[in-house]
Structure 1
Amino acid sequence: MPFATAHCVALNGALGHLIDVQADVSPGQANVMVVGRAGAALREGLDRVRMAIINSDLDWPASKRTTILLSPADLPKSGTQFDLAMALTVLAADGQIEHRDIAGTAFIGELTLAGGLRPAIGVLPMTLAVAARGVRRVYVPEPQFEEATMVPDVDVIGVRSLAQVVASVRGHEVPDAPPVAEASGSRLLTWCGDERLDELDLADLRGMADEKYAAEVAAAGGHALLLSGAKGCGKTSIAERIPTILPDLTPEESLELTALHSLAGVLEPGQGMVVRPPFAAPHHDASKASVIGGGLGRVHPGEISRAHCGVLFLDEFPLFRSDVIDALRQPLESGDITIARRDESVTLPAGGMLVLASNPCPCGNWAANARANRCTCAPPVRRTYETRLTGPIADRIDILRHVQPATAASHDPFRPVETSADVRARVSAARQRQQRRFADSSWRLNSQIPSPRLKDTWPVAEKAQQKLDQETYRGRLSARGAVRVLRVAWTVADLASVRTGRDVVPGLAEVETALRLRRGEAVDLRAIRGGYDLDVSEQAG
């Protein structure tokens, strides 16, 4: 047979396509061609493949015509992960390897001129795509062996060089080779970085009971949260502690998030599965590509996708670029983000909690009380700043809290302070209730319930619905806002069931609480933590 076939994977966002890599080596004018919509980096791989074969003491068919086809030919392909598959098919087509030795096998890895291997970005989603198409054997660079073995029912072989792969498929003794150089650079300086979040606890914050309850509701249902207040009042402190009250990821979430981190190139070799919800906090000067996703060449996941199933914190939100703010509409509505280009359209998960923080003005000193107002911002500047927090984005925020600085009067020194572990237990129990409720659905949390299913399958009590209709008819609430209030009301009810030990269906009390959370009004925590049979509107104030 004049040609040989092996497999590799082309990535389109988080979606992997199994590619048949076919090589034909036949008599004719000496020439090498790659056909099948190959990108620039892939075409450059021909030179790497040729020198890797020669420097591995193998023969390159220099006097023959070599054609490499990447099928399906109409699918755009890019990346350096095709090097190893192209080298093996050329050797097999030239008769140096038996065709059957590479048939039904996927080869992933970038080659060096010396014949060594380098890690490829996105090995985990590639292996998932390989397994989904029924391929049960895959070769990967040695540092990414553990990453690929996260996919069940796939025989993964970690290798260091082309010579080792050739010996392995031939069934010969595998020679020694230098270790594979890791793709990620070594950290030259040491600093606390994200590790400092491991030392944070909700018990560090004294008082702030209303803000803590809002964070608990947001965490339990995955709702978007906006923290507003003067500088230094504790907005960032609350946001950084929200991951500490989130439960560990489920196996499905863990695999999904680990695949995203692999695709983004931030999964360290040997790291294993991501089991804790991530926390991302990009600077307000970050570009749209870094926050939402994109970049030159292949689409890279942005911070919003890397924080999937976790928390994306946008501090000083009104200072973010307008295109970033506008791009948040889709993920706030659907839980994913679509990046469209001329040749491709990539959809990436973006289902993490969005937590925003803002000051009352650019300088952070504005106050409604004239005596306390020390704002130095010009009125037009302050109005421009405020408009960033109104309109379509504000309507998609489920919970608003005006954070007040903690005072001695707001903290009872004789009352035990709840730790993150205490709150995490309630949040975990509330999420388990949601998982049981949505067992036959494609969504996991209350914040993801589609509007039609919310009204038809999980309606609230009649008086609660009447209250919500009243607010809508009077123009105090948009149709989208009413749906989001219903979702929050279900989360309030789930937390109430955890506290009281009995099932609670959202009624007037839960809807009133959800309305107060959305408007930034104080919530009567005595009624919340008590019987839940009381009308919150009567208890408040």
Structure 2
Amino acid sequence: MYARSFCGTVYGINGMLVAVETDIANGLPQFDLVGLGGSAVKESRDRVRAALRNSGFEYPMQRITVNLAPADLRKEGSGFDLSIAMGILLASKQIPQRREAILLLGELALDGSLRPVSGVLPILLQAQAEGFTHVILPEQNAAEAKLAELTVLPAASLSAAVKYWSTTLEAPEGVEERSDDNSARQSLPDFSSVYGQTFVKRGLEVAAAGFHNVMLMGPPGSGKTMLATCLPSIMPKMNLDESYDVTKIYSIAGQLTDKRGLIQERPFRSPHHTVTTAALVGGGAHSPRPGECSLAHGGILFLDEMPEFSRHVLEALRQPLEAGVVTIARSRHVFTFPARFLLISSLNPCPCE
């Protein structure tokens, strides 16, 4: 008994679709998961088993083999749970086969409820490019998923996902197909609330218009941090392509709230001076993730008290400042993250002056 379902994962800043192949054969009860999955993927066997039983479905007491294709690329994350569970139900003929191209995303709790996952938007944009028409995913990811041209089917549990699959693949009433609303706007101060500092304000206006980097030097309490924080309010609005790029980055980093749609305001990032090089420019052991430079793409990266930052951290800013991208090389793959930002640094005058 063989079945195939489809899921997805993040590869760099782009999505990659994964075919989840399930085979159930006679033999001693065993669950084998192959296809170069990470720790979270391998642990899905226990979550899927408990979720199926607690949702009222039968867990086959046979030899179950699940393959994640392509098998030569490492997969990370817990978003494969729903696809694996549906594959077992398909292979055991507990639910019917469907001809529609359906994507399945979501992490399963032991009681069968669905938990949100990160990186949904780049995965769905890739699925849209490859001809998929429907996606079943957790309710908390619905606002993000509506940014893609797919029929979004939000489910609160495995039972709800099976109900979509077995009956009708139509979005419930009251669920809009698409939403570009940025309901989680940043609460940053406005530039008009700054009184005085005419010379500095004029310089920041020029910097905002031409996307020039700025260094602010002055004694403590002179308003350096406040001026930098107010700068996004006078920067030009992002176009649609920039908004999608920023939203994809925040989706991969898991920093989109459950009600946040397309990000339309320029980001403002202010890392602490103890930040590591990997946290600033991005990195990771197997699947690198974007750092503060990429999270500030299209917006502002503010380094408060710049002399306190490590020299190695500051040296790592050379490539993003010159090329607008961050390149992270591994033994088998090279990942490129966008990182075109406006750098603002502040520092106090030397005490000896």
TM-score (norm 2): 0.90
CA distance in 1 between partners of 2:169 and 2:268 (Å)? 46
**Deviation of the 1:140 alpha carbon:** 1.0
| From 299, 307, 327, the counterpart of 2:316 | 327
Output the amino acid matched with 2:60: P
Q: Partner residue of 1:280?
A: 269
Match in the other structure for 1:80: 78
Match of 1:165 in 2: 161
Alpha-carbon distance, 1:291 to partner: 2.1
2:300/2:343 contact within 8 Å kept: yes
Letter in structure 1 aligned against 2:108: L
Question: What's the counterpart of residue 138 of structure 2?
Answer: 141
* Structure 1 match to 2:254: 265
Aligned-partner Cα distance in 2 for 1:18–1:353: 34
Match of 1:99, SS state, is coil
- Structure 2: which amino acid aligns with 1:43? K
Q: Is 1:226–1:357's contact at 8 Å kept on the other side of the alignment?
A: yes
Instruction: Report which of the two has the higher share of helix.
Output: 1
Does residue 355 of structure 1 match 2:344?
yes
Task: Provide the aligned length of Structure 1 versus Structure 2.
Answer: 338
Q: Shift of the alpha carbon at 1:360?
A: 2.8
CA distance in 1, matches of 2:228, 2:80: 42
Deviations 1:382-423 (A, max 9, x none): xxxxxxxxxxxxxxxxxxxxxxxxxxxxxxxxxxxxxxxxxx
Give the C-alpha shift of residue 296 in structure 1: 5.9
Q: Which residue of 2 aligns with 1:126?
A: 123
Q: Residues of 2 paired with 1:297 and 1:267: CA distance? A: 23
SS at match of 1:33: strand
Q: In structure 1, how many angstroms separate the alpha carbons of the residues matched to 2:267 and 2:59?
A: 47
Alpha carbons 2:191, 2:227 under 8 Å: kept: no
Q: Highest relative contact order (Cα 8 Å, sep 6+), 1 or 2?
A: 2
Which whole-Å deviations, capped at 9, do the CAs of 1:349-370 have from their partners, x for residues lacking one? Answer: 1112111122232xxx343xxx
- The CA distance in 1 between the partners of 2:211 and 2:112, in whole Å, is 48
Question: Does residue 151 of structure 2 align to residue 155 of structure 1?
Answer: yes
Give the secondary-structure state (helix, strand or coil) at the position aligned to 2:66. Answer: strand
CA contact (8 A) 1:167 1:173 kept: no
- Shift in Å at residue 243 of structure 1? 0.5
Partner SS for 2:98: helix
Closer/same/farther in 2, CA of residues 317 and 277 from structure 1, 3 Å limit: same
Deviation at 1:144, TM superposition (A): 1.1
Q: How does 1:114-263 map to 2 (within 5 A)?
A: 114-152=111-149, 154-171=150-167, 195=187, 197-198=188-189, 200-202=190-192, 204-209=194-199, 211-263=200-252
Q: Please, which runs of 5 or more residues in structure 1 have no aligned partner?
A: 175-193, 368-541
Q: What secondary structure sits across from 1:231 in the alignment?
A: coil
Partner of 1:318: 307
Residue 179 of structure 2: aligned partner: none
Distance 1:343 1:113, change over 3 A: farther
The whole-number CA distance in structure 1 between the counterparts of 2:340 and 2:94 is 49
Are the aligned partners of 1:294 and 1:300 in contact in 2 as well (CA < 8 Å)?
yes
Tell me: CA distance 1:97–1:268, structure 2 relative to 1, closer, same or farther (3 Å). same
Could you tell me how far 1:230 is from its partner in structure 2?
A: 3.4
When residues 42 and 350 of structure 1 are mapped into structure 2, their CA distance, relative to the original with a 3 A threshold, is same
Shift of 1:221: 2.3
Return closer, same or farther for 1:279/1:88 CA change in 2, 3 Å cut-off: same
Q: Quick one: distance in 2 between partners of 1:221 and 1:317?
A: 22
Aligned to 2:182: none
* Higher Cα radius of gyration: 1
Alpha-carbon spacing, 1:343–1:48, altered in 2? closer, same or farther (3 Å):
farther
Question: Distance between the aligned counterparts of 1:270 and 1:150, measured in 2?
Answer: 12
What is the DSSP-based 3-state SS (H/G/I as helix, E as strand, rest coil) of the residue aligned with 2:258?
Answer: coil
8 Å CA contact 1:110–1:118 kept in 2: the answer is yes
What displacement does 1:105 show?
A: 1.1
Task: Give the equivalent residue in structure 2 for 1:437.
Answer: none
- Residues in 1 aligned to 2:49 and 2:216: alpha-carbon distance in whole angstroms: 57
Deviation at 1:45, TM superposition (A): 0.4
Structure 1 contact 52–111 (Cα < 8 Å) conserved: yes
Structure 1 consecutive aligned stretches of length 4 or more whose deviation exceeds 4 Å: 295-298
Task: Output the CA distance in 2 between the equivalents of 1:161 and 1:27.
Answer: 29
- Rounded Cα–Cα distance in structure 2 between residues aligned with 1:74 and 1:322: 37
Show the counterpart of 2:54.
55
Displacement, 1:155?
Answer: 0.9
Change (3 A) 1:234 1:136: same
Q: Is 1:14 the equivalent of 2:1? A: no
CA RMSD of aligned residues (A): 2.1
In the TM superposition, residue 133 of structure 1 has moved relative to its aligned partner by 1.7
**Partner residue, 2:33:** 34
1:41 is displaced (CA, Å) by 0.7
Residues 293 and 303, structure 1, Cα contact 8 Å, conserved in 2: yes
Match in the other structure for 1:473: none
Distance 2:226 2:157 in 1: 48
Equivalents in 2 of 1:242, 1:81: separation in Å? Answer: 38
In structure 2, the residue corresponding to 1:100 is in which secondary structure?
A: coil
Using the TM superposition, give the Cα deviation of residue 135 of structure 1 relative to its aligned residue in structure 2, in angstroms. Answer: 1.1
Q: What secondary structure sits across from 2:43 in the alignment?
A: helix
Distance in 2 (alpha carbons) for counterparts of 1:344 and 1:52: 35
Structure 1 position 150, deviation (Å): 0.8
Share of identical aligned residues, percent? 39
Letter in 2 for 1:222: F
Contact 2:250–2:256 (Cα < 8 Å) also in 1: yes
Conserved? CA contact 1:249–1:275, under 8 Å: yes
- Aligned residue number for residue 66 of structure 1: 64
Cα shift at 1:173: 11
Specify the SS of the correspondent of 1:355: strand
State the alpha-carbon separation in 1 of the partners of residues 90 and 288 from structure 2: 33
